[in-house]
Amino acid sequence: MTDHYAVIGNPVAHSKSPAIHAAFAHQTGQHLEYGRILGSLDDFAGDVRRFVAEGGRGLNVTVPFKQQAWDLLGDRSPRAEAAGAVNTIIVLDGGLLRGDNTDGVGLVRDLAANQGFDFDGKRVLLLGAGGAARGALGPLLEAGPTALILANRTAAKAVELAATAADARVRGCALDELSGQRFDLIINATSIGLAGSTPAIPDDCLAEGGWTYDMFYGDEPTPFCRWGTEHGAARALDGLGMLVEQAAESFALWRGVRPRTPPVIELLRSGAPER
């Protein structure tokens, strides 16, 4: 029998996850179907229950349900617990549900393994304090930077998030407190790209040879990728690689097989038709 998986979000029609998981399944010889579910804004729990009752084996959760998924699931991995958000639901034998968060590990894998960024001794600026930033915090610290500064429009949220790390390398502040500081890597984990804009950070906060990384992605260079290029970034990357890496981690959790990601990233970059 073919196992069923899906991404649940609202909206969800634009999601690249079905194409990514179809490519992983083909590559690894796994038999599965992966679809899209347009989640109802007032009954996310009901949608999940129905999917499981119909025999579904796992879900990816996207905007705006990651926090609701966290609330719904009592059994959460430590990294989901720390992130306060669930992007992967695993249906265990007997229909029990476990929540995980693969976004942060996906970000770090894309930066370190795919792009070759060496975090050792580096100063990193993480912009934003929402779900994506929360998920990234632990994996970024494990990667070994010297300093990790969290800056957010609403400063209190960055300060609060920094405190959860209980790590001397981490500090939270407002966007306008960054003047005079330089960073080797600036990661945009805000949703401002959707509005076609970039966070208000000082023009000179990227160190010479520094990189920028936008979790947002699109067919064209994102506004923050353009900011990086215009401000001398040695590399200005978007979040497509992160998207594929977080999917690969979910796939490995569900299927016990880790797909190779570079060909799938390449496939998406080439604009191959999506399902």
**Which window, 4-12, 22-30, 162-170, 184-192, contacts ligand NAP (CB under 6 A)?**
184-192
Binding status of residue 132 toward ligand NAP by CB under 6 A:
yes
Distance CA 120, CA 221 (A): 28
Binding status of residue 213 toward ligand NAP by CB under 6 A:
no
Binding status of residue 215 toward ligand NAP by CB under 6 A:
yes
Distance CA 86, CA 68 (A): 8
Smaller CB separation from ligand NAP, 91 or 215: 215
> Is 66 annotated in the active site?
yes
Quote the Cα angle for 1-74-160, to 5°: 125
- Rounded to a whole number of angstroms, the minimum distance from the CB of residue 157 to ligand NAP is 5
Binding status of residue 239 toward ligand NAP by CB under 6 A:
yes
Catalytic residue selected from 16, 66, 122, 157: 66
**Running DSSP on this structure, what letter comes out for residue 160?**
H
Binding status of residue 191 toward ligand NAP by CB under 6 A:
yes
Binding status of residue 153 toward ligand NAP by CB under 6 A:
yes
Distance CA 122, CA 209 (A): 11
Partnered with residue 212 across adjacent β-strands are 186, 236
**Which window, 28-36, 48-56, 190-198, 226-234, contacts ligand NAP (CB under 6 A)?**
190-198
- Rounded to a whole number of angstroms, the minimum distance from the CB of residue 127 to ligand NAP is 7
Binding status of residue 243 toward ligand NAP by CB under 6 A:
yes
| Contact yes or no for 163/134 (Cβ under 8 A) | no
User: Phi and psi at residue 83, in whole multiples of 5°?
Assistant: -75, -25
Quote the Cα angle for 4-10-12, to 5°: 55
Strand-pair category, 147-152 with 170-174: parallel
Catalytic residues, which ones? 66
List residues binding ligand NAP (CB under 6 A). Answer: 103, 106, 128-133, 152-154, 157, 189-193, 199, 215-217, 239, 242-243, 246
